[in-house]
Each structure stands twice: as structure tokens, then as C-alpha cells.
Amino acid sequence: MELNIGGRTFINSDGKHNMPSGEVFTGPVEESVEGHVTFSYPAIHQAREVTNVQLWFKNGRVIRATAEKNEAFLLETLDTDEGARYLGEFAIGTNEGITRFTGQILFDEKINGSFHVALGAGYPETGSKNESAIHWDMICDLHQGGEIWVDDKLLYEDGRFVIDF
């Protein structure tokens, strides 16, 4: 999966809101997301667990979605409104004290060595313009070969930052 964050602001979760703390996040440019992603952990929304979620993006919009469990719920939620098929958030989990999935999103989105995206509403303070009735976080573990590249530089590998900005 590729996305553009040009002109957007990253916010460091610094212990003032959204406890526990431990993530850096921004809103991707809405029409920029391209490619495919498979999420490592169950995606939980409205107390429903959706497993093995896979999303395909074109021009920022989810054009295909599958799941092993509760796929119909995933597809129904994607049709909530126009903004539900776009990403409102891209974040990296940085809390070294959170190392495993618990099923509680306020902990899970901060799992050290992970990244997450949220379908739907973005945070305007990051520059996100996406509006939606939903904000559904979905998480990927990056410990086993995952990478994040920024401007042709490797930023994150195997669940760790490898360069400083």
C-alpha cells in the first residue's frame, strides 16, 4: 500500500489525550492511497469482530474488500457514506509497554511495532479533509519483515524506527 502525506501534520500522542499514549498519526491525502493491505489483527467495530480483512485501494478509495469472518458487515460499513471508503488516519504504534493484541482499540492501536489506518473520519488538525460517520481502526503488525518508506528512505523496519528525522 502506498499513500501521500505531503502537506499533512504528524501528531505525537503525548499523554494528554486518548490514553494510553503511544502513537504518531496523520491524515493521508484522501485520493492518494493505492494498492493492497492485509490486516494482522481482527478489526473490531460496533462490537463486531471482522477477521483477515483485506482492502484494495485506487485513487484513495476502497474498491474491493474481503474478510474471513463478517465480510457482509465490513461491506455494509464501507457503504455507510462516501467518506467511509477513504482513509482518515495513518499511524504508527510506539508504546513499548503494549506488545500484544487485546481486542481493546485504545490499547491495540498503540502496539509497539505496528501501524494502523482508519477508514472514515480523519482528524482536521492533521490536515485530513475526510468526513464520515465512521472511524474504524485496522492494525498491521510489522515485526516480521514490515517496512515503511518515506521519500525513498527506509523509516521503519521489523517494528522499529531505523532513521531519525
The greatest distance separating any two alpha carbons of the chain, rounded to the nearest whole angstrom, comes to 42
Question: Does 4 map to a domain?
Answer: no
In a domain, 145, yes or no: yes
Q: What is the pLDDT of residue 165?
A: 56
Provide the pLDDT for residue 163: 80
Tell me whether residue 83 is in a domain: yes
Phi and psi at residue 100, to the nearest 5°? -145, 160
| 79 within a domain of the structure (yes/no) | yes
**How many domains is the chain partitioned into structurally?**
1
Render pLDDT for 29-63 as a digit per residue (tens, 0 to 9).
999 999 999 999 999 999 999 999 999 999 999 99
The pLDDT value recorded for residue 36 is: 97
- Measured in whole angstroms, the distance separating CA 60 from the mean position of its chain's CA atoms is 13
- Express each pLDDT in 70-97 by its tens digit: 999 999 999 999 999 999 999 999 999 9
Domain membership flag for residue 120: yes
Q: What is the pLDDT of residue 164?
A: 65
- Those residues with Cβ within 8 angstroms of residue 151's Cβ, 6 or more apart along the chain or in another chain: none
Instruction: Report d(CA 56, CA 90) in Å as an integer.
Output: 16
Tell me, yes or no, whether 2 lies in a domain.
no
Say what the pTM is. 0.92
* Cell numbers found for residue 145: 519483515
The answer as to whether 94 is a domain residue is yes
- Domain residue limits at 145: 11-161
Q: Determine contact, residues 70/51, Cβ cutoff 8 Å.
A: yes
Q: What backbone phi and psi angles, to 5 degrees, belong to 37? A: -140, 140
Q: Is residue 25 part of a domain?
A: yes
